[in-house]
Amino acid sequence: MKLRIVSGVLWFLAGCVVAGDMAYLLGVNQSVGLVVGAAWAAFVTIDPKNLIWRVESRGTPPRISGPRSSTPRTQVGTGA
- Residue at 11 is within a domain: yes
Q: Is the pLDDT of residue 80 over 60?
A: no
- Residue at 17 is within a domain: yes
Give the per-residue pLDDT at 3.
84
DSSP secondary structure of 34-68 = HHHHHHHHHHHHH-TTSSSS----TTSPPP----S
Structurally, how many domains does the chain consist of? Answer: 1
Q: Is the pLDDT of residue 33 over 80?
A: yes
What's this model's pTM, rounded to 2 decimal places?
Answer: 0.61
- Residue at 40 is within a domain: yes
- Residue at 15 is within a domain: yes
- Residue at 79 is within a domain: no
- Residue at 78 is within a domain: no
Separation of alpha carbons 31 and 71, rounded Å: 63
- Residue scoring higher pLDDT (3 or 56): 3
Domain extent at residue 7? 2-46
- Residue at 37 is within a domain: yes
Q: Per residue in 12-29, pLDDT tens? A: 999 999 999 999 999 999
Give the per-residue pLDDT at 49.
75
Separation of alpha carbons 65 and 25, rounded Å: 51
Average pLDDT over the chain, rounded to an integer: 80
Separation of alpha carbons 48 and 6, rounded Å: 18
- Residue at 58 is within a domain: no
